[in-house]
Amino acid sequence: MIGAYRNGHSVLYTLDPRTKLFLTAGISLLIYSAKLWELGFMLVFVFILAWISAIPFISFIRGLRPILLFCLVILLFHLLLTPGELLVSWVPFATIEGLYTGVLLVVRFISLILYTSILLHTTSPSELNTACAYFLRPLGTFGSNIAFMVGVAVTLIPQLFREKDIIIRAQTARGFTSGGIRGSIAFLVPLLLRSFRKADELSDTLESRCYYQSRQYYYYSTDLAGRDLAAGVVFLVMAGLVCL
């Protein structure tokens, strides 16, 4: 599941969260500028990272399900609307250039999602909050609030997926199979109610712990180590292979 933190003890878990966030941002820039064959190399590398992190392969791939329809729309959009040489004579508007562009953008998007998933799988919400707050320190309280919202979103998004599965299983057990608008309403209403309930519980928790926007404390500090330097060297090597 995208965004779900998993406990582990691999080397990626021991990296400083600031290092992981910074390198993920750098990899995102590489993905944006990489060609198709270079993206293939980066996809192989992300699966190696997933193996090192002991993330189950099926679980890692299953996280892509929510974006498959979006990827298909992107591919068809470029396939049919990009001018160029026809791919096959019996399919109008489908061009070779459109196919290449569509596949390139889809692979870029999937690569970005997978690398972000590695970050979220190996970094707890509190660590991610600390890393975001560190890089947003020049913005003062506003930056701290943004970091806090990122941490909350990372925590609640997997919870929404779990609530969705619970609702679907409950409706299926009750024999509810209606589709269309009625089925959508029957699904969205309980999902929204559960979401508002979770938000209300979070608000009560923050108030009970005397949380204030202008006063935030961190009870542990993070220090860069040799493994963070090694991760930076690996990133530079990959960047060199992609850019050369």
Tens digit of each residue's pLDDT (9 = 90 or more) over 220-236 = 566 777 888 988 898 88
Q: Minimum mean pLDDT among 31-40, 148-157, 179-188: which range?
A: 179-188
DSSP string, 74-137: HHHHHHHHS-SSBS-TTSTT-BHHHHHHHHHHHHHHHHHHHHHHHHHHHS-HHHHHHHHHHHTG
Yes or no: say if 36 and 104 are a contact pair by the CB < 8 Å rule: yes
Q: Kindly state the average pLDDT of the residues 101-120.
A: 90
Tens digit of each residue's pLDDT (9 = 90 or more) over 53-84 = 888 888 788 778 878 888 899 998 888 888 87
For residue 178, what pLDDT band results from cuts at 50, 70 and 90? low
> Is pLDDT at 3 greater than 60 in this prediction?
no
For residue 8, what pLDDT band results from cuts at 50, 70 and 90? confident
Helix pair 36-52, 96-122: axis angle to 10 deg: 20
Cα–Cα dist 121/133, whole Å = 19
Share of the chain above pLDDT 90, in %: 9
User: H helices of the chain, where?
Assistant: 11-14, 17-33, 36-52, 57-62, 68-81, 96-122, 125-135, 141-173, 180-208, 226-243
Q: Minimum mean pLDDT among 25-34, 69-78, 100-109, 196-205: which range?
A: 196-205
For residue 185, what pLDDT band results from cuts at 50, 70 and 90? confident
> Is pLDDT at 215 greater than 70 in this prediction?
no
